[in-house]
Amino acid sequence: MKKVIIAVDAGGTSTRINVIDKDKNVLFDKIYACGSPAVLGDDDEAFANIYGGVSDAYAFSQDECFIEAIIIGISGLDVVKNIDKYKLEFEEAFNAEVLITQDAVLAIYSIVTDMHNEGILVLSGTGSAVMAIKNNQTRLYGGWGRLLTEVGSAYTTVRDLINSMIRNYEAGNEVTTLGKRFLERLGYSNVKELKYFVYPSTSTKIAGHAKFVSDAAHIDNNEEAIAILQKGGYDLALDVQNAYKGLNLSSDAVIGFRGGFISNAPIMQNELILQLEKIGINLKVVAGDKDPIYGAFYMAKRMGYLC
């Protein structure tokens, strides 16, 4: 029978499930509902969504394949109090080894692939986090969420623009060109109306305007937008520095970027690398395998599966 793994990437918007064989062929690929307990606010609902997808993948595979492992990467896993309960349920239902970890762990394995033993992942989409790896030991930095220490994300980029507009307004200055364009985008005429946007909006809705800032920087060369992205890169560099020191990485370490925001924000990436170089941390930038779910494949190989 063909050896396979079931790979799960459960994010804040949707859950992707693959069946992957030892040659990295994808035999099954489907999208299911959100599997993030942090987003849904309900552990049982999140794992029920994941369970349904794994059930489909298992039914697809069980007659002709030997499922060696089910590797599940979940966004917002830290809010789950009893991971072992769900792990046991999956193992009993599917008769396979089950590993439940953070989605950032899958992402960093997709960066280092089977080529590197040390590396750092900078993950920045709606939210942000930094993950370090050394000889299969991983450690997360950041990832505390927008209400705590989050920096360099799509959400905080928009937040920083709004905060700048407020401070500028309270100092008695005129609204900047970028600020005026943002107000027009929202259909407002003055800074005070920003409250009507911020307070009723989800973090996802607010983060959805980050492309406006990114385009203003990269396409229009707007100095204020550039400065906001550079600030995000500077702030993320502090998390990367902590990750580098925390796992005692060496000059062999690589760095890669994941997430829809930072992947399309070279100004932020360049500022991050510049700040690291200023303190003597020189990391080789690698693309890795651009599909994060393949991190489960490389992780499985390093754990002795799919051999």
The per-residue pLDDT for range 249-293, each reduced to its tens digit, is 999 999 999 988 999 999 999 999 999 999 999 999 999 988 889
Asked if 7 and 54 count as a contact pair (C-beta separation under 8 A), the reply is no
Asked whether residue 13 is assigned to any structural domain, the reply reads yes
Confidence (pLDDT) at 18: 98
Q: Do residues 294 and 191 both lie within one domain?
A: no
As a whole number, mean pLDDT of residues 167-177 equals 97
Residues 296 and 254 both lie in one domain: no
- Give the tokens for residue 177: 């060109």
Whether the Cβ atoms of residue 21 and residue 28 lie closer than 8 Å to each other: no
- Average pLDDT of the segment spanning 137-161: 93
Query: What is the count of structural domains for the chain?
Result: 2
**CA distance linking residue 78 with residue 29, whole number of Å:** 26
Same domain, 276 and 264: yes
pLDDT at 219 over 90: yes
- At 2-60, the pLDDT tens digits run 999 999 999 878 999 999 999 999 999 999 999 999 888 999 999 999 999 999 999 99
Does residue 81 sit within a domain? yes
- Read off the pTM: 0.88
Q: Would residue 29 count as lying in a domain?
A: yes
Residue 98: band (very low, low, confident or very high) from pLDDT cuts 50, 70, 90? very high
Q: Quickly tell me which residue has 């062929």 as its tokens.
A: 25
Q: Which residues contact 173 (CB under 8 A, 6 or more apart)?
A: none
Gap between the Cα atoms of 123 and 111, Å rounded = 11
Q: Let me know if residue 196 belongs to a domain.
A: yes
Of 265, 287, 220, 275, nearest in space to 244 by CA = 275
Amino acid at 259: G
**What is the chain's mean pLDDT, rounded?**
95
Instruction: State how far the Cα of 15 lies from the Cα of 135, in Å rounded to an integer.
Output: 28
Co-location of 205 and 274 in the same domain: yes
d(CA 269, CA 150): 17
Containing H/E element for 198?
helix 194-198
123 assigned to some structural domain: no
Q: What is the percent of the chain with per-residue pLDDT over 90, rounded to a whole number?
A: 88
Say which CATH number the domain at 249 has: 3.30.420.40
Count Cβ atoms within 10 A of the Cβ of residue 283 and give its class: 0-12 exposed, 13-18 middle, 19 or more buried.
Answer: buried
Is residue 30 within 8 A of residue 59, CB to CB? The reply is no
Share of the chain above pLDDT 70, in %: 100
Residue 227 included in any domain: yes
Note down the domain range covering 189: 154-285
